[in-house]
Chains A and B, each alone.
Chain A
Amino acid sequence: MKQADALNQAGTLAELGTLGVLLAVARRDLLLALRRKSEVMTVLFFFVIVVSLFPLGIGPEMALLRIIAPGVLWVAALLAAMLSLNRLFAADYADGTLEQMVLSPAPLGLLVIGKILAHWLVTGLPLVLIAPLLGLQYDLDGRALGVLMLSLLIGTPLLSLIGAIGAALTLGVRGGGVLLSLLTLPLYIPALIFGAGAVEADISGLGATGHLSLLAALLALACFFAPWATTAGLRIALE
């Protein structure tokens, strides 16, 4: 009986294929997110509010705002991404879905990549799309806005990937939220430096290619290593 079940599952796994499994997990998570739209909007509004707070605290001089714009937008994106990490695995952990995922014949790494992809589509991509609007408040010109979007487009998946490691390690741990920020924020520093640096370099006329290439290199590195570390963390949490 057990064998038949396993065969049955293996059959569906073979039917779906590697990419199919990944997309199925991503679609499920997206569907869940769409049923609870307010959570998605909260992250977005957090981003908008944090970015709008800086001019109120510093003063409305456009010359100054133009200088700090890349840093402010990137730090705000960092914090927004971090706040949304808690939800990456918490709900599935609470209702036991995560345990089933660990037991399933599909490789856990693949399922994790699917979840991270969905998480980025829900929390990262909206930040990328709204960033130019906020950049306008800081008087960035068109080129700089393009570079800002591009840097966030490469950078936010990186944030989701690195953050997933922290989310897996702090799963079900006391004071998980604050702890998560303590673990992931230091690891976000290279992304912040190259992401904000790309926009600054473009504004100062140095060209953003170098920064963007390094950011993309970090993304490639994280794509390989982060799901691996995340699965190890999940297995430990579920032991």
Chain B
Amino acid sequence: MSNKIIHWFKYGSPQSFYPLAGKMIPWFWALAAIFCVAGLWIGFFVAPTDATQGEAYRIIFIHVPASWMSMFLYIVMACWAGIGLSLNTRLSSMMASAIAPTGAMFAFLSLWTGALWGKPMWGTWWVWDARLTSELILLFLYLGFMALQAAIDEPRRADKAGAILALVGVVNVPIIYFSVKWWNTLHQGASISMSKAPTMAITMLWGMLVMALAFWMYSIAVALQRARAIMLERERHTDWVKYAVE
């Protein structure tokens, strides 16, 4: 056992990564389910009712982890795309394209739950709050990435063009965030701010962290599954795919 060396780079090729991903997916699904149940249980039964916001605040257990994940996934996607561009590895680019729809889904989920939260709290579905606005722009960036990849037929060119767009986007995300924040503070000085909320109960924080873990595991499981599908599609002319499908 001790002198058995694992050649990690072996898993850089779709042929050997495909079965490995297949083995890992059920575990990540299971972890996602466990964390999700635990997080929702903390969120609904353990966390106390908020003094000012009542029961409606409980949507943050979905809303906050979803927006965390949407931002985090964009960085992960850009990292994979950058690795794919610089090292010319096929699998990295496939991972980048596999992550994009999940990231866009989380960005959308975050906006949706933000609107649902805003209605009882602020009386409107939409507020031009700095965070909501930058989340919306993040969704646009995801959509641009996916649209560009979908428009180019040749997979290698799609990978590379998408990688450059993702890298340009990742440089721009902080610039956009701070410009939107500044714009927001200039235009509505004394508006409602989520960051001014009273100190959070520790159980609320735990609920959000556990839900974030659940979303994380879910993202890995879904991204791997999507990557497996992309591998089969792109390598359909090779022998290993024929064996794998049989």
- Which among B141, B151, B153 is the interface contact of A186 at CB below 8 angstroms? B141
Among listed B62-70, B180-188, B204-212, interface-contacting one: B180-188
- B137 on interface, CB distance cutoff 8 Å: yes
Q: Counting CB contacts under 8 A, is B38 at the interface?
A: no
**Is there contact, CB below 8 Å, between A233 and B164?**
yes
Q: Which residues of A contact B186 (CB under 8 A)?
A: 197, 201
Query: Does B53 belong to the interface (CB within 8 Å)?
Result: no
CB contacts (< 8 Å) of A236 on chain B: these are 157, 160-161, 164
Give A200-239 interface residues, CB cut-off 8 Å to B.
Answer: 201, 214, 218, 225, 229, 232-233, 236-237, 239
| A225 B183 Cβ-Cβ under 8 A | no
Option from B143, B156, B171, B180 in Cβ contact (under 8 Å) with A189: B180
Report chain A residues within 8 Å CB of B141.
186
**Chain A CB within 10 A, most for which of B144, B165, B169:** B144
B: interface residue count bin: 20 to 34
Residues in chain B near residue A176, CB distance under 8 A: 151
- Whether the pair A169, B147 counts as a contact (CB closer than 8 A) is no
Compute how far the CA of A37 lies from the CA of B160 in the bound complex, rounded to whole angstroms.
Answer: 36
A24 interface contact, C-beta 8 A: no
| A41 lies within 8 A of chain B by Cβ | no
Q: Is the CB of B157 within 8 A of A183?
A: no
Please give the distance in Å from B54's CB to the nearest CB on chain A: 35
The residue from B164, B167, B182 contacting A193, defined by CB atoms under 8 A apart: B182
Asked whether, in the complex, the Cβ of A190 is within 8 Å of the Cβ of B164, the reply is no
Find out whether the CB atom of B168 lies under 8 angstroms from the CB atom of A165.
yes
In the complex with contacts A179-B148, A179-B151, A182-B144, A169-B165 CB distance below 8 A: yes
Shortest Cβ distance from A111 into chain B, in angstroms?
18
Chain A residues near B152 (CB, 8 Å)? 173-174
Q: Which of A162-184 contact B (CB under 8 A)?
A: 165, 169-170, 173-176, 179, 182-183
CA–CA, A239 and B164, complex, Å: 15
Interface residues of B in 11-27 (CB under 8 A from A): none
Q: Is the beta-carbon distance between B164 and A183 smaller than 8 angstroms?
A: no
Cα A176 to Cα B182 in complex, Å, equals 33
Q: Is the CB of B183 within 8 A of A197?
A: yes
Tell yes or no: A187 within 8 A of B by CB: yes
CB distance from A219 to the nearest CB of B (A): 12
CB of A161 to closest CB in B, whole Å? 11
Known A179-B151, A183-B144, A225-B171; contact A193-B183, beta-carbon cutoff 8 A: yes
How far does the Cβ of A223 sit from chain B's closest Cβ, in whole Å? 14
Nearest chain-B residue to A214 (Cβ)? Answer: B179
Does A83 belong to the interface (CB within 8 Å)? no
Q: Are A189 and B176 in contact (CB under 8 A)?
A: yes
CB distance from B77 to the nearest CB of A (A): 15
Residues on B facing A (Cβ under 8 Å)? 137, 140-141, 143-144, 147-148, 151-153, 156-157, 160-161, 164-165, 167-169, 171-172, 175-176, 179-180, 182-183, 186
10 A-B pairs (CB sep. < 8 Å): A170-B148, A170-B151, A183-B165, A187-B168, A190-B175, A201-B186, A229-B164, A236-B157, A237-B157, A239-B157
- Having A197-B183, A229-B164, A236-B157, one finds 14 other A-B pairs with CB under 8 Å, namely A170-B148, A173-B151, A174-B152, A175-B151, A176-B151, A183-B165, A187-B168, A189-B137, A190-B172, A197-B186, A201-B186, A218-B175, A225-B168, A232-B164
Footprint of B on A, CB under 8 Å?
Answer: 165, 169-170, 173-176, 179, 182-183, 185-187, 189-190, 193-194, 197, 201, 214, 218, 225, 229, 232-233, 236-237, 239
